[in-house]
Amino acid sequence: MTSRIDRLRLRMQELGLPALLVTKHENMLYLSGFSGSAGALIVSQDRLQLITDFRYELQVTQEAPAWEFILAQQILDATVRQVLTESGFREVGFEAGDLTLARYYHLGGEESDAPYLLQPTNDVVEQLRIVKDAEELAAIREAVRITDAAYAHILALAKPGVTEWDLALEAEWYMRRHGAESTAFPSIIAAGAHSALCHAQPGARALQVGDLVIVDMGARYARYCGDMTRTFAIGEASPTMREIYRVCAEAQLAGVERIMAGMSGIDADHAVREVIDAAGYGAYFGHGTGHGVGLEVHEAPRLSRTAAALLPVGTTVTIEPGIYLPEIGGVRIEDLVIVHEAGVEILTAAPKPKELPIVE
């Protein structure tokens, strides 16, 4: 944890911040190890303070022993404000993307008598989280392994008459029974025309012969997420379905073969998108090519038409093109990869055939 704090303090010096108030749950976990659902961190150059309430007093001693624990005797933010006031800081950075306007004012925002000025910051800790260390990568690998196994489990159960709900429940139950602490996100099982919705919620619809089925799911292990998507058909598939699968598979393979460290998110996205555009389906691929995965299933960096930041060595991202045709169905193929200097390492092991898989 020390190196994370050292890097954060260096960044704070560059920003001219004597102190940073950290309120986002994932950032608190990343910096301190504290996994409780309520609390705040105050990081300065010489102190590490963790404020939470009685419910987590013992938990703090177990998870964040290096931090100075401050027990909130009343409303959490009232204690945070008191600690900031007594610390004598003239300026305190806060996480603008996490703090609500109501909390901002309560903590001493504009037109306040607080002796310090709250300065908005954006993605300070999130930028530190982009490159994963060995411990993080080990957790992500295990999350992906569990996810792969869960996919194999539900693929064997998929047949006409089984509902989207049935498969979603089986996937989530399997992941929990095989080591996941939870799912990384609500599983997406979408069949038939429903699969044309990028983030469809599973429903009571039964799978039918001729359906395209998108399965997008991930396990969470040791706080870190897995994420993968596969697409198959039930019984038979129309020429159009086979075609959009083939194009999507070619686009996904292009990303796997061409994406590497030092490439911008824009260029990474283009390497995938140009295949779909050339096939005439560009209007049906409206989301980005990928995103970072770690403590959050969607985090920096991004692979999209607007993501100018360069991909560093050691980041974990998805490569997930999709084609979604209204009234017909959708295809998405997603791998989670580690970005290396000369290419990517695919973590996802679930098969992704070049031709549309048909489940009988």
Secondary structure (DSSP) of 203-223: -SPBP-TT-EEEEEE-EEETT
Q: Could you give the percent of the chain with pLDDT greater than 70? A: 99
**Residue 54, burial from CB neighbour count under 10 angstroms (0-12, 13-18, 19+):** exposed
Q: How many CA atoms lie within 13 A of 42 on its CB side?
A: 26
Q: What is the rounded CA–CA span in Å between residue 264 and residue 251? A: 18
Confidence of residue 208 (pLDDT cuts 50, 70, 90): very high
Q: Is the pLDDT of residue 95 over 90?
A: yes
Q: For 168-187, how does the pLDDT look when each residue is reduced to its tens digit (9 = 90+)?
A: 999 999 999 999 999 999 99
Q: What is the rounded CA–CA span in Å between residue 108 and residue 89? A: 12
From the CB of residue 207, how many other CB atoms can be counted at a distance below 10 Å? 22
Q: For 119-169, how does the pLDDT look when each residue is reduced to its tens digit (9 = 90+)?
A: 999 999 999 999 999 999 999 999 999 999 999 999 999 999 999 999 999
Domain architecture of the chain: domains with CATH: 2-129 (3.40.350.10), 134-359 (3.90.230.10)
Q: Is the pLDDT of residue 58 over 90?
A: yes
pLDDT at 1: 55
pLDDT at 161: 97
Confidence of residue 74 (pLDDT cuts 50, 70, 90): confident
Segment holding 248, helix H or strand E: helix 239-258
Q: For 303-352, how does the pLDDT look when each residue is reduced to its tens digit (9 = 90+)?
A: 999 999 999 999 999 999 999 999 999 999 999 999 999 999 999 999 99
Confidence of residue 112 (pLDDT cuts 50, 70, 90): confident
Name the average pLDDT for the chain. Answer: 96
Confidence of residue 2 (pLDDT cuts 50, 70, 90): low
Q: Which residue, 290, 293, 295, 147, is CA-closest to 216?
A: 147
